[in-house]
């Protein structure tokens, strides 16, 4: 049985130990993990434009990317690898809101060619990140 003083020392020592472990792992992630996994050197003006469009048009309101967002529309983390740039451009600029895979309609945005290229560059950059196996390969193709 611990005395009150021993319990206090045990608690404070454990808290300090795990706080140091947490800070060390956080530092390692920020310094070596993130740059190696996200490749920030590949962020171009096109990628930034695509990200801005993604945020401004609230694409996350329907789609998910890297596991974040809504589940109404398809997951887009690896869409560049799965479908390619031409498919992405066609999907984001389909006329009259007619893009309706599985009965769910894509909003018509009328993006310019530059904006469509920005979205393609953004999806390409996201797809090249090392996400430790996310999303999993589909079992049925």
Compute the distance between CA of residue 26 and CA of residue 89 in angstroms, rounded to an integer: 38
HEC profile of 36-49:
HHHCHHHCCHHHHH
30 and 58 share one domain? no
Task: Express each pLDDT in 34-53 by its tens digit.
Answer: 777 778 888 899 999 999 99
What's the number of domains the chain is made of?
2
> What pTM value is reported for the model?
0.75
Task: Express each pLDDT in 94-124 by its tens digit.
Answer: 776 666 667 777 888 889 999 999 999 999 9
> Containing domain of residue 49, as a range?
43-141
Return the number of other C-beta atoms located less than 10 Å from residue 84's C-beta.
13
- The DSSP 8-state label assigned to residue 31 in this structure reads I
34 and 97 share one domain? no
Assign 60 to helix, strand or coil: helix
Q: Report the C-alpha dihedral over residues 70, 135, 41, 123, rounded to 10 degrees.
A: -50
Tokens of 44: 């171009």
Per-residue model confidence (pLDDT) at position 115? 95
Name the residue among 62, 115, 65, 61 with its Cα closest to residue 89: 115
33 and 49 share one domain? no
């Amino acid at each position: 049985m611990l005395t009150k003083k021993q319990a206090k020392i045990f608690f404070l020592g454990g808290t300090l130990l795990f706080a140091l472990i947490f800070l060390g792992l956080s530092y390692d992630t920020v310094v070596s993990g993130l740059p190696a996994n996200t490749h920030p050197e590949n962020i171009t003006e096109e990628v930034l434009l695509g990200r801005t469009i993604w945020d401004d048009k609230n694409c996350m309101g329907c789609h998910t990317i890297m596991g974040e967002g809504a589940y109404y529309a398809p997951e887009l983390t690896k869409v560049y690898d799965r479908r390619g740039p031409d498919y992405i451009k066609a999907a984001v600029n389909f006329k009259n809101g007619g893009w309706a895979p599985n009965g769910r309609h894509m909003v018509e945005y009328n993006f310019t060619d530059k904006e469509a290229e920005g979205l393609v560059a953004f999806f390409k950059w996201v797809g090249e990140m090392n996400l430790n196996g996310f999303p999993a390969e589909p079992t049925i193709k």
